[in-house]
């Protein structure tokens, strides 16, 4: 008879491994099942985020940004770097080393916290049982008082551009190029498409991004989205909106992509094509036939606000349930669910989940856009501040972008913060904390910020809500 657990988690991505560690910390006998086979042929923890997502993409974004700085910006600062070149294979090896360190680190954390790591494919076979098929095909059934499904997501494929080894790839393939493609096509101007397009554009690819929608980054405040589009265009990303891909043909080392736009049928030829049109839940087979856990038609597991499925004792978190597909959202859900299982009160504030696009400059936001608020009939007041007026931004050679705060016109409560600028991903934590504590724009305006910092732009934007920014001419009348 196999071991019996208080909690079995299926999937060791940022949702699952965090849930498992928290559950074990709270004294629950916990196991985590994982099937991901890493580059060295063994099972690795960390899921999409650590293996082929957040971490490897950021390793490439950082390296490619440093390359651009050394090539184009150092001279301005008086640094003579000579002829700067990029060794793509070395950049990739560094990325792989970071991934290996981190995934190995999760295994270490499991041991340190007493989480039992089970290798294989898990399946919920009843409300209190998980069957695991090991790599050798043997199956074992484990009893569990509680089950947490954290099976994650996989890239969406589209019929016009079937993946073709080394030529038409998804985001995972785009993290493995061993040389810089001359002409690179990216389908999808979402977060992942813009990040991966930026990496290769910085390294010298001519990048064309084909986006079916007519609007650019519709989830970001329009003013910030427009500024971002302009900045990325200036960097050389050719972003074609309203371009719907209809077909592709691999011709030797090239791929011809057909798309339609407002001018009719178009065609472009690329050396590589990255398909970044979104991700879908990876839930096929994770719930056995006959177990009544409900899934929607797209495969997302139905859960309530506290990630409970319709079957008592079975929870689901992260990318395989509703909400934004983000690592930190998955992790927070993991903590909430572990706390609930341990008998604590726990809930999550879905209104204050931050989003970041790690382009240069970064784009980060939390809460509503000005347009969202208006569409909901909320009267708002806003304050913006450009980094061009920030002393620290000038010193950093990073004067592009701006910070914007959206506040309720009546209560002054902060409804949203949207930033495009260097370190926007770090700065947005201020908006998250402010909103979490129900702060007003005045609360931020009355806060003492260190000088000189990029964060002062947030302070100035808060002051600008009432037309009181100090380091720029205010458009509004002062009271």
Active site members: 451
What minimum distance in Å lies between the beta carbon of 212 and ligand FAD?
19
316 binds ligand FAD (CB under 6 A): no
Q: Pattern 101-130, binding to ligand FAD, x per CB under 6 A?
A: --------------------xx--------
Which stretch, 1-9, 325-333, 385-393, 396-404, contacts ligand FAD (CB under 6 A)?
325-333
Both tokens of 67, joined, read 């390359």
47 binds ligand FAD (CB under 6 A): yes
- Please give the C-alpha separations between residue 171 and each of 45, 52, 152, 258, 468, in angstroms, as whole numbers: 19, 8, 15, 20, 44
328 binds ligand FAD (CB under 6 A): yes
185 close to 273: Cβ distance less than 8 angstroms:
yes
Which stretch, 10-18, 69-77, 99-107, 160-168, contacts ligand FAD (CB under 6 A)?
10-18
Spell out the residues 6+ positions from residue 36 whose beta carbon is closer than 8 angstroms to its own. 12, 43, 44, 45, 46, 47, 51
What minimum distance in Å lies between the beta carbon of 442 and ligand FAD?
31
What minimum distance in Å lies between the beta carbon of 48 and ligand FAD?
3
Beta bridge partners of 421: 362
Both tokens of 326, joined, read 């983000």
197 binds ligand FAD (CB under 6 A): no
Q: How far apart are CA 479 and CA 412, in angstroms?
A: 15
11 binds ligand FAD (CB under 6 A): yes
Q: Pattern 53-92, binding to ligand FAD, x per CB under 6 A?
A: xx--x-----------------------------------
Which stretch, 42-50, 247-255, 300-308, 387-395, contacts ligand FAD (CB under 6 A)?
42-50
231 close to 357: Cβ distance less than 8 angstroms:
no
301 binds ligand FAD (CB under 6 A): no
Size of the site for ligand FAD (CB under 6 A): 36
33 binds ligand FAD (CB under 6 A): yes
Identify which of 404, 406, 393 has the alpha carbon closest to the alpha carbon of residue 435: 406
Binds ligand FAD by CB under 6 A, chosen from 5, 28, 35, 228: 35
What minimum distance in Å lies between the beta carbon of 291 and ligand FAD?
13
What minimum distance in Å lies between the beta carbon of 440 and ligand FAD?
28
Whichever of 86 and 364 has its CB closer to ligand FAD, that residue is 364
43 close to 35: Cβ distance less than 8 angstroms:
yes
Binds ligand FAD by CB under 6 A, chosen from 142, 282, 315, 385: 282
192 binds ligand FAD (CB under 6 A): yes
Which residues contact ligand FAD by CB under 6 A? Answer: 10-16, 33-36, 47-49, 52-54, 57, 121-122, 150-153, 171, 192, 282, 286, 318-319, 325-328, 330, 358
């Amino acid at each position: 008879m196999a071991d019996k657990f208080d909690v079995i988690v299926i999937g060791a991505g940022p949702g699952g491994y965090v849930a498992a560690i928290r559950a074990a910390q709270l004294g629950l006998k916990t196991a985590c099942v994982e099937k991901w086979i890493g580059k060295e042929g063994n099972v690795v923890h960390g899921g999409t985020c650590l293996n082929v997502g957040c971490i490897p993409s950021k390793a490439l974004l950082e390296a490619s940004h440093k390359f651009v700085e050394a090539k184009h910006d150092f001279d301005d600062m008086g640094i003579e770097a000579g002829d700067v070149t990029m060794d793509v294979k070395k950049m990739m090896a560094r990325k792989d080393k970071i991934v290996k360190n981190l995934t190995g680190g999760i295994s270490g954390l499991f041991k340190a916290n007493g989480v039992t790591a089970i290798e294989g494919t898990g399946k919920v076979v009843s409300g209190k049982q998980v069957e695991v098929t090991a790599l050798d095909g043997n199956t074992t059934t484990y009893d569990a008082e509680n089950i947490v499904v954290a099976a994650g997501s996989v890239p969406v494929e589209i019929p016009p551009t079937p993946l073709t080894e080394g030529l038409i790839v998804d985001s995972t393939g785009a993290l493995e190029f061993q040389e810089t493609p001359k002409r690179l096509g990216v389908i999808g101007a979402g977060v992942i498409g813009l990040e991966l397009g930026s990496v290769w554009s910085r390294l010298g690819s001519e990048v064309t991004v084909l986006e079916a929608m007519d609007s650019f980054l519709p989830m970001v405040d329009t003013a910030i989205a427009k500024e971002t589009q302009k900045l990325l265009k200036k960097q050389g990303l050719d972003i074609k909106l309203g371009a719907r891909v209809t077909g592709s043909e691999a011709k030797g080392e090239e791929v011809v992509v057909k798309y339609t736009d407002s001018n009719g049928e178009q065609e472009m030829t690329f050396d590589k094509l990255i398909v970044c049109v979104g991700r879908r839940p990876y839930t096929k087979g994770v719930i056995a036939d006959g177990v009544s856990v409900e899934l929607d038609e797209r495969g997302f597991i139905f859960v309530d606000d506290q990630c409970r499925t319709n079957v008592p004792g079975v929870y689901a978190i992260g990318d395989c349930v509703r909400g934004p597909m983000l690592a930190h959202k998955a992790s927070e859900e993991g903590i909430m669910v572990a706390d609930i299982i341990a008998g604590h009160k726990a809930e999550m504030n879905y209104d204050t989940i931050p989003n970041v696009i790690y382009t240069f400059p970064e784009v980060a936001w939390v809460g509503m856009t000005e347009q969202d608020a208006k569409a909901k009939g909320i009267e708002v007041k806003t304050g913006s501040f450009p980094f061009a007026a920030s002393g620290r931004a000038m010193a950093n050679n990073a004067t592009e972008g701006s910070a914007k705060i959206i506040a309720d016109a009546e209560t002054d409560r902060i409804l949203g913060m949207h930033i495009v600028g260097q370190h926007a991903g770090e700065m947005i934590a201020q908006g998250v904390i402010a909103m979490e504590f129900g702060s007003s724009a005045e609360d931020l305006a009355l806060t003492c910020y260190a000088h000189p910092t990029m964060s002062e732009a947030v302070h100035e934007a808060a002051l600008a809500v009432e037309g009181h920014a100090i380091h720029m001419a205010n458009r509004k009348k002062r009271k």
